[in-house]
Every structure is written in C-alpha cells, then in structure tokens.
Structure 1
C-alpha cells in the first residue's frame, strides 16, 4: 500500500498534460499491485491466490517500465525513480517466494 501512496505523491507535480498519460498509468499500476495482493489473499484457494500474485507481478513490471520512462524523459528526478524502483524490487521479491 505504501508504494501506491508514494506513486500518488510522486505524480502530484506532473504537468497537466500528463493527467491522462503517465500520471494515470503510474497511479493505476501502483494501486493495482496492492489491490491484486489483497484480492488474492481473500480467495479461498491457493491457486486463486497465486493467480492474483501473478497479476500483481504484471502490474509491478508495468509500473517499473513507466518509472524508468519518467526518468528518461525527465518527468521525475533520478533519485525519486531509484527510490520507487527500490520499493518495486522489494515487493517483487516478496511475491515470488
């Protein structure tokens, strides 16, 4: 959940022209990670839980791609990108145990 909150904070200063672009993409993929883990946890079978963890991993990779792109086009400073990517790395490790 912290990553999703940090994604919202990080995109708060994006240009208005990015509201339906990177701002939306980063916020949605960040929130989707937490939502998929929570939904999977609420399922009654291990198989269903694993399926939702895989969906969370997909959103995680999507978020990582958007963050890298934001660094490349200078929508975010490298330190902020690195911090968020560090968080995605930690979450990714916990999803594949």
Structure 2
C-alpha cells in the first residue's frame, strides 16, 4: 500500500513541472519532489530539515547544476513555508 501524499504545491523549473509533497504521518520538516511533467512522473528526491539553515536537497538520479539545485531548493522551501502558514496548495 502506498502512503498518502499531501501535495503542498507545484512549480516550474526549466522544462520540468515539479510537485512538492509530504507523506501523511511523516516528518513535517521534510518534503519530497516529484517531476509530474514531462511524462512519466518520477520521484526526484527530497529536502530534509527544511526551514532550518541545515536544510539540504538530496537528488536520486538527477545531475543538476548548482544553480538548478539552488532554484529547486528555494522554490520548494517557499512552497513549504506558504503551506505551513496558510494550509493551502501553491501553484507557482
């Protein structure tokens, strides 16, 4: 059985549409990133200790430049902050 995903929001990074989500019952200080477009959807990685100065983006397979990694981390963190304040999904 797959755990329930709680979608916090989505953003575009170059040609990718990325979904930021958490696992129900999991850590509230980590988010997961999933590419939803282009097909097929694939899990990209996660950010742990989000919201702290020690937050780190972990990618499973993608070899992104430092700039792309920073942009993905910044956008996912902004979505996490918005969701924590407003309890609403973000479309960016």
Per the TM superposition, whether the score is higher than 0.5 is: no
TM-score (norm 1): 0.34
Greater C-alpha Rg: 1
Instruction: Flag the structure with higher helix content.
Output: 1
TM-score (norm 2): 0.36
Instruction: Flag the structure with higher strand content.
Output: 2
